């Protein structure tokens, strides 16, 4: 084969297909129902939304834990362990790297991110309202702000922001900088909302995509250690002991600094969904394009098998 053609083939096999994969929810089912993803990237960062709930009882959002941007395919998966209390290939892989005293950056990128699944209507204007209901993988900071502010300003009484008659419209501003922040939350009482916004919304459980463990294992199999350079190997012993401590006690650290870690993860994730091309992976993936192509082919095979069984 012509060398240039071979080069083009390899480049094609390894290119990013643009896009974060939202494969933790059943996007095809949602699209059939006319429910597309909500994006907080708006003119001047100004967001106006109304949260709608699939049911009048219980929580109006579902907490989810996802592994994002895994492997060369940059796949996103629900964590099997945190979501289904089952063995999670990605958590297991992270544990194995930790056991090998691998660079903590690689391990950090395998950790789960917390999100809250919501249904929202963009209430910016009539045209945005006409787009209908969207699904939104809401960062914890937005969810917390909404819950905190959900009270009647005069009486101080808690209100249900999703109530079709007594609920609230929510506005906030997205600020993109070194990290994305959400500020200026205001909840406003408005006219009752139309039934079409919240009628027949599928329960969150029905839109989750339970991942295939084989697919997860394949995706994460390319994520490996940062090779230790002679420079870093020669670093002081204190640094060495710090990374060993990090690799031994990741859960404890996460528990002590949940907010900070969450913000970091949330902002990274937001950057990804906002602009795929700007995403710079810090993950060490398989360098060898042939091996990457083999893994991709296996993933495609697993996916097609899964589709056939559905």
Using the rule CB under 5 A, give the single segment among 88-96, 160-168, 194-202, 263-271 that binds Zn ion.
88-96
Measured CA to CA, the distance from residue 257 to residue 51 in angstroms comes to 29
| Contact present, 65 and 114 (Cβ < 8 Å) | yes
Opening angle at CA 89, ends 83 and 94, nearest 5: 100
> Judged by CB under 5 A, which of 91, 170, 218, 286 binds Zn ion?
91
Measured CA to CA, the distance from residue 15 to residue 275 in angstroms comes to 16
Using the rule CB under 5 A, give the single segment among 79-87, 95-103, 121-129, 197-205 that binds Zn ion.
79-87
Interaction with Zn ion in 17-56: which residues (CB under 5 A)? none
Closer by beta carbon to Zn ion, 110 or else 120: 110
User: Shortest Cβ distance from residue 292 to Zn ion (Å)?
Assistant: 22
- The candidate with the shortest Cα–Cα distance to 135, out of 36, 205, 202, 56, is 36
Measured CA to CA, the distance from residue 272 to residue 247 in angstroms comes to 26
User: Shortest Cβ distance from residue 157 to Zn ion (Å)?
Assistant: 39
Contacting residues for 61 by C-beta, under 8 A, at least 6 apart: 51, 116, 117, 118, 138, 143, 204
Using the rule CB under 5 A, give the single segment among 16-24, 78-86, 213-221, 283-291 that binds Zn ion.
78-86
Using the rule CB under 5 A, give the single segment among 7-15, 74-82, 216-224, 246-254 that binds Zn ion.
74-82
> Judged by CB under 5 A, which of 25, 51, 64, 90 binds Zn ion?
90
Using the rule CB under 5 A, give the single segment among 72-80, 187-195, 225-233, 259-267 that binds Zn ion.
72-80
Q: Is 268 in the site for Zn ion (CB under 5 A)?
A: no
User: Shortest Cβ distance from residue 67 to Zn ion (Å)?
Assistant: 6
Q: Is 79 in the site for Zn ion (CB under 5 A)?
A: yes
In the numeric block, the tokens 């060369």 are attached to 72
Q: Is 250 in the site for Zn ion (CB under 5 A)?
A: no
- The candidate with the shortest Cα–Cα distance to 283, out of 62, 101, 137, 68, is 68
| Contact present, 160 and 167 (Cβ < 8 Å) | yes
> Judged by CB under 5 A, which of 88, 110, 220, 302 binds Zn ion?
88
User: Shortest Cβ distance from residue 81 to Zn ion (Å)?
Assistant: 5
| Contact present, 164 and 191 (Cβ < 8 Å) | no
- The candidate with the shortest Cα–Cα distance to 92, out of 73, 67, 74, is 67
User: Shortest Cβ distance from residue 112 to Zn ion (Å)?
Assistant: 6
User: Shortest Cβ distance from residue 111 to Zn ion (Å)?
Assistant: 9
Q: Is 193 in the site for Zn ion (CB under 5 A)?
A: no
Opening angle at CA 200, ends 194 and 203, nearest 5: 125
Q: Is 81 in the site for Zn ion (CB under 5 A)?
A: yes
Interaction site with Zn ion (CB under 5 A): 79, 81, 88, 90-91
């Amino acid at each position: 084969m012509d060398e240039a053609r071979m080069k083009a083939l390899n480049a094609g096999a390894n290119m990013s297909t643009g896009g974060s994969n939202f494969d933790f929810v059943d996007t095809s089912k949602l699209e059939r129902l006319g429910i597309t993803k909500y994006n907080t990237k708006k003119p001047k960062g100004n967001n106006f939304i109304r949260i709608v709930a699939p049911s009048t009882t219980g929580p109006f959002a579902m907490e989810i834990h996802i592994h994002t941007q895994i492997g060369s395919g940059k796949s996103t998966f629900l964590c099997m362990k945190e979501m289904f209390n089952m063995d999670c290939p990605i958590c297991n892989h992270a544990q194995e790297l930790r056991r090998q005293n691998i660079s903590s950056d690689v391990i950090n990128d395998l950790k789960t991110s917390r999100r809250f699944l919501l249904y929202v209507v963009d209430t910016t204007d009539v045209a945005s309202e006409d787009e209908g209901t969207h699904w939104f993988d809401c960062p914890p900071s937005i969810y917390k702000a909404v819950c905190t502010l959900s009270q009647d300003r005069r009486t101080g009484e808690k209100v249900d922001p999703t109530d079709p008659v007594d609920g609230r419209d929510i506005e906030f501003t997205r600020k993109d900088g070194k990290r994305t922040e959400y500020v200026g939350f205001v909840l406003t009482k408005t006219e009752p909302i139309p039934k079409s916004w919240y009628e027949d919304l599928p329960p969150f459980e029905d839109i989750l995509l339970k991942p295939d463990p084989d697919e997860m294992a394949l995706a994460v199999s390319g994520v490996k250690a940062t090779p230790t350079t002679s420079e870093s190997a020669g670093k002081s012993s204190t640094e060495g002991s710090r990374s060993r401590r990090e690799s031994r006690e990741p859960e404890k650290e996460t528990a002590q600094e949940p907010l900070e870690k969450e913000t970091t993860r949330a902002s990274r994730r937001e950057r990804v969904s906002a602009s795929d091309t700007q995403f710079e992976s810090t993950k060490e993936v398989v360098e060898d394009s042939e091996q990457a192509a083999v893994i991709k082919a296996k993933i495609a095979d697993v996916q097609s098998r899964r589709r056939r069984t559905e």
